Amino acid sequence: MKTLYKNNRKLFALVFSLILVFSILELGKAYLMGELLGLNMETKKLVGLIVLTIVFLLVYTLIDSGKQLAVKRLENKIRYDLQQRCVRTILQEDPASFFRKDSSTLINDLTNKINEIVEKYIHSQIQMTALIVSFAAGSIYIAALCWPILIFLYILAGMGLLGNRFFFVPLQKREKALLVQKEKWIQTIKNFYDNFMFIKNEHYEKTYFDLLRSGSENLHETYNKADSLLMASDAINNGFGQYMFLGTIGIGALFVHFQMLTIPLVLAIMQVTNMVVNPLFQFATFRNRIESSRFLIEDMEQMMKEINAHIQHETTSISQLDTISFEHLDFAYSPDHLVLKDIDLTFRRGCKYLIVGESGQGKSTLLKLMLKQIPCANVVADGIPLSSITYSSYFSHIAYVSQSFALFPVSLKENIVLGRHINVEDVLDHVGLHDLISRKEEVFENDRTALSGGQMQRIMLARALASDKNWLVLDEAFSAVDEATRKRLERSMLEEKEKTIITISHKTDAITAAMYDTILLVENRTVRPISLEEYISQHV
């Protein structure tokens, strides 16, 4: 949080200055009210005072509006800074850690959590600063006129603050429960979107509506629980405020009776009393909000620390990549689910590998281990444990095309070249997307693009080719492409002698398979080389 304040010191200074000026104007307002209600005032003086009051109210309104605008600007800037800081940190994370989180958690972190931090933690801290300034100014004013009233206000306020301590822990528990329910609701909406077609096709609307209603009711109930406790603490604080207000009137009446104060001064004190009473109890309210939302800041800081700690383990950069080896690797997703056993295998630069096998045998797991998507001590690159190699240096040599594909919200050209100075028209032509050359400047801003699955997959292949990296890893990269295009593209890649090609495929024809140096069969938790003849007899 110190970094956020430091980065916005000018805005903070502006907000504080306006808060200070506004508190002085509040004292001026109390003085004017006392003067206006003073008895036996000459007409000329009254007219002059009315004119002064009109001018004063204009200045008061302008300063108040400026203060509120500055506070809002500061909160929005902090929200922006938090988002940037989170995204910058997450972008340093490796896929193995990143994909352990559900996408709903990421959405929640970058939306709900940040909004809660700004709206409850930051807003409350800014308001508490304003309250402290107001409290100090009001206390000095009242102490100068009638210190017993100030002592009375302090005693009741202390009692109120003590009572508020009982709300801290319950409020924090309910805020955490609310955040969990918000995350669950996001997941429910995502699931609804992903399954909408099947809901309609299978006439599942009524059942799914009940699921949505149940999720919505849980969120609604959690909101009510969190709000009810907060409102209860606010109600108690307001009750104390009423006692303080009436007590001030009573003490003021005594002082007037004994001619120690005039009625205009008592009225001015009552007005200024709000500058002491309101801060004391609003301070308690805002403190409750800060304490109930403090865990959000702690969670965010912890997330950033964990990512940074993991990055520090990756200390080695590699300038070239000659081999990737699995050294007697055993891998299981759980103790009773062994996927790969005693894998001893080396992929060498410049060689072509075709990986085949039935679904569920571990082909994609093998690639995930190779691509740092799953951490493992038994995978090494040029003799160096993969876990200690920096992600950026490792993937400066590897281009990867997965089974899934998504476009960035930028132009088609930028989706392929990714900042490189490359003739995108040649690349599009090479992958058979001549018809998209005229659309190269079109921006794709959401997932519902007017492109077929085959076109999307060839864009991913075009991106990999445009990167011109020496290692090319293809995981069912031709599954949505027609057979003729698949053969042409796959064979043209295999003809590049300097390229290392590692392909997982279910439909490679015999002629293309013969162009690979090694065909690996993943079967029964093992990986073994097979001959072209064996591949043809089993898979073609």
Whether the per-residue pLDDT at 164 is higher than 80: the answer is no
- Residue 423 and residue 467 in one domain: yes
Q: How far, in Å, are 166, 269, 272, 519 from residue 143 at the CA level?
A: 31, 10, 11, 90
Task: Assess contact for 529 and 507: CB atoms under 8 A.
Answer: no
- Residue 268 and residue 338 in one domain: no
Domains in the chain: how many in total? 2
- Residue 62 and residue 193 in one domain: yes
Confidence (pLDDT) at 40:
58
358 assigned to some structural domain? yes
Whether the per-residue pLDDT at 86 is higher than 80: the answer is yes
Confidence (pLDDT) at 351:
97
The residue type found at 455 is Q
Confidence (pLDDT) at 149:
86
* 3-state DSSP helix/strand/coil % of the chain, to nearest 5: 65, 10, 20
φ, ψ for residue 77, nearest 5 deg: -65, -40
- Report the DSSP pairing between strands 337-348 and 384-385: unpaired
Please give the DSSP secondary-structure letter assigned to residue 499.
-
Q: Which residues contact 435 (CB under 8 A, 6 or more apart)?
A: none
- Residue 190 and residue 80 in one domain: yes
- Assign residue 98 the CATH number of its domain: 1.20.1560.10
Separation of CA 262 from chain center: 58
- Residue 132 and residue 48 in one domain: yes
Query: Rounded to an integer, what distance in angstroms lies between the CA atom of residue 97 and that of residue 22?
Result: 49
- Residue 401 and residue 280 in one domain: no
Considering 311, 340, 358, which residue would you say is the last residue of a domain?
311
Considering 291, 311, 331, which residue would you say is the last residue of a domain?
311
Cα within 13 Å of Cα(475), Cβ side = 17
Closest CA to 427 of 253, 418, 325, 136: 418
- Residue 347 and residue 300 in one domain: no
Task: Assess contact for 398 and 321: CB atoms under 8 A.
Answer: yes
399 assigned to some structural domain? yes
- Residue 164 belongs to what domain range? 1-311
> What is the sign of the dihedral through the CA atoms of 420, 425, 430 and 432?
positive
318 assigned to some structural domain? no
523 assigned to some structural domain? yes
Task: Assess contact for 325 and 492: CB atoms under 8 A.
Answer: no
pLDDT tens, 403-445?
Answer: 887 788 788 999 899 888 889 999 999 999 999 999 999 887 6
H/E stretch holding 18? helix 9-36
Instruction: Kindly list the strands in the beta sheet with 398-401, ordered across the sheet, starting from the edge strand earlier in the chain.
Output: 398-401, 471-475, 500-504, 352-356, 518-523, 526-530
- Assign residue 361 the CATH number of its domain: 3.40.50.300
317 assigned to some structural domain? no
Whether the per-residue pLDDT at 158 is higher than 90: the answer is no
Confidence (pLDDT) at 63:
94
- Residue 483 and residue 376 in one domain: yes
Whether the per-residue pLDDT at 108 is higher than 90: the answer is no
Please name the residue that has the structure tokens 């997307």: 433
- Residue 267 and residue 327 in one domain: no
Task: Assess contact for 493 and 472: CB atoms under 8 A.
Answer: yes
316 assigned to some structural domain? no
Whether the per-residue pLDDT at 39 is higher than 60: the answer is no
H/E stretch holding 248? helix 205-257
DSSP of 81-100: HHHHHHHHHHTTS-HHHHTT
306 assigned to some structural domain? yes
- Residue 416 and residue 279 in one domain: no
pTM of the model as a whole: 0.69
By CB atoms closer than 10 A (0-12, 13-18, 19+), residue 433 is buried
- Residue 181 and residue 276 in one domain: yes
438 assigned to some structural domain? yes
φ, ψ for residue 106, nearest 5 deg: -65, -45
Query: Rounded to an integer, what distance in angstroms lies between the CA atom of residue 400 and that of residue 70?
Result: 47
Considering 271, 286, 311, which residue would you say is the last residue of a domain?
311
- Residue 364 and residue 507 in one domain: yes
Query: Rounded to an integer, what distance in angstroms lies between the CA atom of residue 216 and that of residue 211?
Result: 9
Least confident interval from 155-164, 248-257, 479-488: 155-164
Whether the per-residue pLDDT at 506 is higher than 60: the answer is yes
